[in-house]
């Protein structure tokens, strides 16, 4: 009987803790974008509050804030940047797997892939 109670308690702890750990993007991530001009490295800082996602992306061209949303392991956000041709909206979709993220981006004139690792 005692082992059944302990087993039930352990199962309850894992069931309630696992979803939060799998979908928490909060933190700093080293990201790399595959572009037609080659790889571009950047740093993303995410803050997740429930399904709301905010943060900043810092790269060679400076830092820009973003907003998005999270559903389970999937997330999406948009970045507005000023380009020589005017305002450019970049949409990023991704999936989290522990301390790794990967996804695609669309900047209106093309798409690409990106990956990231959580900084520790």
Q: How far is CA 30 from the centre of its chain?
A: 10
For residue 96 the two structure tokens come to 């989290």
Residue 61 has a pLDDT of 80
Q: What is the mean pLDDT of residues 88-104?
A: 96
The residues facing 88 across adjacent strands are 81
Query: How far is Cα 85 from Cα 48, in angstroms, rounded to an integer?
Result: 32
The residue ranges of every structural domain in the chain are 2-118
Which fold is adopted by the domain 2-118? Lipocalin (2.40.128)
The residues, any chain, with a CB within 8 Å of residue 30's CB and separated by 6 or more, are: 41, 43, 116, 117, 119
**Do residues 67 and 75 touch, judged by C-beta distance below 8 A?**
no
Q: What is the mean pLDDT of residues 81-108?
A: 93
Q: Does residue 85 have a pLDDT over 50? A: yes
Residue 23 has a pLDDT of 64
pTM of the model: 0.77
| Pick from 41, 105, 39, 114: nearest CA to 77 | 105
Query: How far is Cα 63 from Cα 73, in angstroms, rounded to an integer?
Result: 25
Q: Does residue 53 have a pLDDT over 70? A: yes
Q: What is the mean pLDDT of residues 57-70?
A: 93
């Amino acid at each position: 009987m005692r082992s059944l109670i302990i087993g039930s308690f352990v199962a309850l702890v894992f069931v309630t803790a696992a979803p939060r750990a799998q979908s928490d993007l909060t933190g700093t991530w080293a990201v790399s974008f595959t572009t037609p001009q080659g790889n571009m490295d950047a740093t993303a800082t995410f803050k997740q509050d429930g399904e709301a996602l905010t943060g900043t992306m810092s790269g060679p061209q400076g830092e820009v804030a973003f907003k998005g949303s999270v559903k389970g392991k999937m997330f999406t956000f948009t970045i507005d940047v000023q380009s020589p041709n005017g305002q450019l909206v970049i949409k990023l979709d991704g999936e989290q797997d522990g301390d790794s993220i990967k996804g695609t981006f669309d900047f209106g004139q093309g798409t690409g892939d990106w990956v990231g690792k959580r900084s520790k």
